[in-house]
Amino acid sequence: MADATMSNVLKKSGKEIQANWSRDLAAAQASSKGRISAAELEQQAAEFIKLLTVASEHAKSSDISAPEFKAIREFLEGVSRSRVAQGFSSEETASFIFSVKKPFFAALRTDAGKDADALADQVWRATELLDALGLHTIKVYQKSREDVINRQQREMLELSTPVVKLWDGILALPMIGTLDSARTQVVMENLLQKVVETGAQIAILDITGVPTVDTLVAQHLLKTVTALRLMGAECIISGVRPQIAQTIVHLGVDLQGVTTKANLADALALALKRTGSTSLRS
Amino acid sequence: MEKIPILRMGEFLLVTIQIDMHDQLALKLQDDLSNAIQKNATKGVLIDISSLEMVDSFIGRMVADISGMGRILGAETILVGMQPAVAITLVELGLSLPGVATALNVERGMALLRRKIDADGADVVAH
């Protein structure tokens, strides 16, 4: 089924559709707070109409996954990504495509004249196609947004777990934010890797920035301490706040065998003493 | 059949596990090592597992058993060079190997062993 009428209409009154569409877009654009220029919008509209004309001329069906629609799909993907970067909402992004319907249908109507059946048929085909294209745009929009979120999440994960070398043979890991399984895993791996790289004897886990410690978090801390011990390094937990000390005792978490200190300074002093004494002896 | 070498260095024994252990091999090592400790009047055993990249619960327990056995035979046993991934696996498996002395590498392990044995020796003199 070649959309003969549709491509004819597009070819014949493409300019007119584009002009009307651009006008509508410009009117809507007033609310976009200058995130996109009128010239850019117009250029995108022109490109879309051009690609749609080419695509509908060659397309056998309105299945937009067909190779004829590749160019227009890619164009929409580009538009969608730039909309994400410019901070548009999904609604605004979708209405870019859907707003072409009005001028397009008007052109179809002029073309069909009094033939209501043909008009209905054409409008349906056009709607089907434009809806599919619009949905595709939204799909890409959402995907781009998810990519942004994932990237930020990864960055946050990395940012929040720096391993600092405090002294020769002493590492510190200031933990900030809530600890969950995934984060502890990353923290633990980073720390252990650093211990291997630097040959550190003592690692200080500073939990000043951890808002709450529940049994799960305590469990995670204990795991890290045990893993460090297995590798032959010692671990001191510092920055235990009074409330946290109370919670830990109330929860009945057994922190026996783990050295804990109220602040990082005390922990460092202890660590220095321990490493100092060992280096003196050997 | 493959075998894990047990090297004698004075009054110490050095066991370097350089291949991925399987159950049979671990059992054999346990046997060989206990005999070697007995035979050589060993004071200290250093088990280097820095090339061991994979462990399961059985091997984890075996390692703990071997060091416990060494201790019973009167030799200080130190586990050295555990890889981060192995440490994490053991912890996740719930094997925290209590009572097993550890060190980061062979050098540190050797120093720790010397210190421990010196400390024991000093005790004897003091009494």
A9 close to A108: Cβ distance less than 8 angstroms: yes
pLDDT tens column, B66-121: 888 888 888 888 999 999 989 988 988 888 888 888 999 899 899 998 888 888 76
Residue A197's domain spans which residues? 164-281
CATH number for the domain spanning A232: value is 3.30.750.24
Statement to judge: residues A179 and A244 lie in one domain: yes
A34 and chain B in contact, CB less than 8 A: no
Count of the separate structural domains present in chain B: 1
Residue B22's domain spans which residues? 6-126
Identity of the residue in B86, B91, B102 whose CB atom sits nearest the CB atom of A232 = B102
Are B102 and A199 in contact (CB < 8 Å)?
Answer: no
* CB interface of A with B, residues 167-206, below 8 Å: 185, 188-189, 192-193, 195-196, 199-201
Q: How far is CA A161 from the centre of its chain?
A: 20
Statement to judge: residues A199 and A103 lie in one domain: no
Statement to judge: residues A203 and A146 lie in one domain: no
Beta strand pairing call for A170-176 and A164-167: antiparallel
Query: Which of A102, A131, A154 delimits the end of a domain?
Result: A154
Angle at A158 between CA A155 and CA A163, to 5 degrees: 155
Are B96 and A226 in contact (CB < 8 Å)?
Answer: yes
pLDDT tens column, B52-77: 888 888 888 888 888 888 888 888 88
A226 and chain B in contact, CB less than 8 A: yes
> A with B: how many residue pairs have Cβ under 8 Å apart?
62
Query: Which of A154, A188, A220 delimits the end of a domain?
Result: A154
Statement to judge: residues A150 and A181 lie in one domain: no
**Which residues, 6+ apart, have CB-to-CB distance to B4 below 8 Å?**
B15, B16, B17, B18, B19, B21, B25, B28, B29, B32
Tell me the nearest-neighbour CA distance from A252 into chain B, angstroms.
19
| CB contacts, 8 Å: B114 with chain A | 282
Q: Is residue B97 part of a domain?
A: yes
Q: From chain B, which residues contact A within 8 Å (Cβ)?
A: 79-84, 86-88, 90-92, 96-97, 100, 102-105, 108-109, 111, 114-115
CATH number for the domain spanning B84: value is 3.30.750.24
Q: Collect contacts of A246-250 with beta carbons under 8 A, ≥24 apart.
A: A247/A212, A247/A213, A247/A214, A248/A213, A248/A218
Statement to judge: residues A242 and A210 lie in one domain: yes
Statement to judge: residues A11 and A150 lie in one domain: yes
Count of the separate structural domains present in chain A: 2
Place of tokens 């070649």: A2
> What is the predicted ipTM?
0.79
Query: Which of A100, A134, A154 delimits the end of a domain?
Result: A154
Beta strand pairing call for B12-16 and B6-9: antiparallel
Q: List the single best residue of A230, A254, A281 to mutate versus B (max B Cβ within 10 A).
A: A230
Place of tokens 């949905």: A135
For helices B57-72 and B23-40, angle between their N-to-C axes, nearest 10 degrees: 10
CATH number for the domain spanning A68: value is 1.10.490
pLDDT of residue A157: 72
3-state secondary structure (DSSP) of residue A279: helix
Starting at the earlier edge strand, list the strands of the sheet with A234-238: A164-167, A170-176, A202-209, A234-238, A259-260
pLDDT tens sequence for chain A (282 residues):
445 677 788 888 888 888 888 888 877 766 666 677 778 888 888 888 888 888 888 877 777 788 888 888 888 888 888 888 888 888 888 888 888 888 888 888 888 888 888 888 888 888 888 898 889 999 999 998 899 899 888 887 766 678 889 888 899 998 888 777 777 788 888 889 999 999 899 999 998 888 888 888 888 888 889 999 999 999 999 998 888 888 888 888 888 778 999 999 999 999 999 887 544 444
Identity of the residue in B92, B108, B114 whose CB atom sits nearest the CB atom of A232 = B108
Are A195 and B104 in contact (CB < 8 Å)?
Answer: yes
Q: Is residue A159 part of a domain?
A: no
